[in-house]
Chain A
């Protein structure tokens, strides 16, 4: 069962267009949506949340068309997007009280636990919090209304490494409960490597791949050498390469490499960089 199913999603804004995006968020899994700025990640998320109208394709959440979700189903989605949007004149304690009256299934107990964990002082006003602390508050809100799906757009932006680790731990804990899923975008690919089961890579509005993270590690490798050695690997094996006066390296498909050629492990960031900035043979 998939929590989110996207098929042939299209959306155009002036000179930008999202082209036939298809991927899913399986139940109980964390899917990382990666891509450079302006690739279409946030637009995809907004289509899932019905904040923008898709020009084509379908988006289903919990098996139902996203735009037809009722209040009960929407309450099962926890959301964090850029800019907290929380009322700046309210204190953390007052935010809790307001959210209690807004979200069905709100758990004040969970909120207090997260507030304590994230060092959010109850009497501090939202406007007095730093960017990172506001982000933590938004996370505490998203995690406190007993959702089954978390949709997070750059949730760890502005957080220091320790806070980021705390937050990732919370996400990890969140998905331990049955049937909970997470769709997350982040430019900090190290964070995604820690928690994601699947990676969807969007580039220039098109989906380049949607794969299990471990399969990506099995599939891709980095080969280093000089330009002549990269050329010898062949077009079928080399996805993209970069060259400098000091040498060359290539992102290669491991199964297509000639025998005896060793490949280093390619991380998500490597894959992104080679695909976006590398050249084709």
Chain B
């Protein structure tokens, strides 16, 4: 799995500059707007987009076929993808937390960061089975819908979070539990899809 992860990281190396630029711009806008939710929300975009780009690279190269024909276990192949996305989510969550620290936000900012991260995990959980079943290109219209839906959800949750009428810690915990459950189900579906696939 180490080799697959290393390959995925290097595959995205060319995107690193753009990611850094996006982070810098979002951080600046968020700082001057004094709205940490903006930055944390857009970090979803970054981790999901890293996931999509990574799958796209494999699709263009025909890596999945190479891996399966070379005897790499399908479970391992799928597992590494989820691990890679978890890593991307962790990076965006840490960046969100760092932004919260810089902007000296209250607890709500940190909980919002966690909620956004877990909602990005839910998006990824929906995307992976689609990607493994239909490929990145064919799933494009579907994931644009899912992505737009999640952004709307995130925006709506931002409205409620702003109202601070709800227990954010509980909400983050609910999102976390759902995220973990969905990930387990999504992983099982993705493995099943790959196992039934012919190359």
Q: A102-B4, A102-B72 are in contact. Are A89 and B198 (CB under 8 A)?
A: no
Is A77 in contact with B71, judged by CB distance below 8 angstroms? yes
Could you say which of A91-99, A218-226, A250-258 contacts chain B? A91-99
Is B7 in contact with A90, judged by CB distance below 8 angstroms? yes
Is A79 in contact with B69, judged by CB distance below 8 angstroms? yes
Shortest CB distance A78–B (Å): 8
Q: Is A100 an interface residue (CB 8 A)?
A: yes
Is A101 in contact with B61, judged by CB distance below 8 angstroms? no
| Cβ contacts A to B, 28 pairs, < 8 Å | A46-B198, A46-B199, A49-B71, A51-B68, A51-B198, A52-B199, A69-B71, A71-B73, A77-B71, A84-B62, A84-B66, A87-B11, A88-B60, A88-B61, A89-B11, A89-B14, A89-B57, A90-B11, A94-B6, A98-B3, A98-B4, A101-B1, A101-B3, A101-B5, A102-B67, A102-B70, A102-B72, A103-B3
Query: Considering the chains assembled together, what is the distance between the CA atoms of A271 and B10 in angstroms?
Result: 48
Is A51 in contact with B69, judged by CB distance below 8 angstroms? yes
Q: Is A38 an interface residue (CB 8 A)?
A: no
Closest B residue, CB atoms, query A73 = B71
- A112: which B residues are within 8 A, CB to CB? none
Is B62 in contact with A98, judged by CB distance below 8 angstroms? no
Is B67 in contact with A89, judged by CB distance below 8 angstroms? no
| Residues 30-73 of chain A, each 1 if its beta carbon lies under 8 Å from chain B, else 0 | 00000000000000001001011100000000000000010100
Chain B's interface size range is 20 to 34
Closest A residue, CB atoms, query B65 = A85
Query: Considering the chains assembled together, what is the distance between the CA atoms of A275 and B72 in angstroms?
Result: 39
For window 1-58 of B, CB contacts with A under 8 Å fall at 1-7, 10-11, 13-14, 57-58
Q: What residues make up the interface of B, taking CB atoms closer than 8 Å to A?
A: 1-7, 10-11, 13-14, 57-58, 60-63, 65-73, 198-199
Shortest CB distance A12–B (Å): 12
Is B199 in contact with A102, judged by CB distance below 8 angstroms? no
Closest 5 CB pairs of A and B: A85-B66, A101-B3, A74-B71, A102-B3, A101-B2
- B1: which A residues are within 8 A, CB to CB? 101
- B11: which A residues are within 8 A, CB to CB? 87, 89-90
Q: Is A161 an interface residue (CB 8 A)?
A: no
A-B contact count (CB 8 A): 88
Query: Considering the chains assembled together, what is the distance between the CA atoms of A90 and B10 in angstroms?
Result: 7
Interface of A is mostly: loop
Is B61 in contact with A85, judged by CB distance below 8 angstroms? yes
Is B71 in contact with A71, judged by CB distance below 8 angstroms? yes
Name the residue among A77, A102, A103 with the largest chain B CB count within 10 angstroms.
Answer: A102
- A245: which B residues are within 8 A, CB to CB? none
Is A75 in contact with B71, judged by CB distance below 8 angstroms? yes
Query: Considering the chains assembled together, what is the distance between the CA atoms of A89 and B61 in angstroms?
Result: 9
Closest B residue, CB atoms, query A85 = B66
Q: Is A260 an interface residue (CB 8 A)?
A: no
Q: Is A14 an interface residue (CB 8 A)?
A: no
Query: Considering the chains assembled together, what is the distance between the CA atoms of A127 and B2 in angstroms?
Result: 23
Q: Is A81 an interface residue (CB 8 A)?
A: yes
Closest B residue, CB atoms, query A74 = B71
Shortest CB distance B184–A (Å): 22
Beyond A85-B66, A87-B7, A89-B11, 16 additional pairs, beta carbon < 8 A: A46-B198, A46-B199, A51-B65, A52-B198, A52-B199, A69-B71, A74-B73, A79-B70, A79-B71, A81-B66, A85-B69, A89-B57, A98-B7, A101-B1, A102-B67, A103-B70
Shortest CB distance B143–A (Å): 22
Is A98 in contact with B69, judged by CB distance below 8 angstroms? no
Closest A residue, CB atoms, query B75 = A71
Is A85 in contact with B67, judged by CB distance below 8 angstroms? yes
Closest A residue, CB atoms, query B3 = A101
- In-complex Cβ contact of A87 among B2, B63, B68 (8 A): B63
Query: Considering the chains assembled together, what is the distance between the CA atoms of A52 and B2 in angstroms?
Result: 27
Is A85 in contact with B10, judged by CB distance below 8 angstroms? no
Closest B residue, CB atoms, query A43 = B198
- A83: which B residues are within 8 A, CB to CB? 62, 65
Closest A residue, CB atoms, query B197 = A51
- A90: which B residues are within 8 A, CB to CB? 7, 10-11
Q: Is A243 an interface residue (CB 8 A)?
A: no
- B58: which A residues are within 8 A, CB to CB? 87
Query: Considering the chains assembled together, what is the distance between the CA atoms of A101 and B14 in angstroms?
Result: 22
Closest B residue, CB atoms, query A81 = B69
- A74: which B residues are within 8 A, CB to CB? 70-73
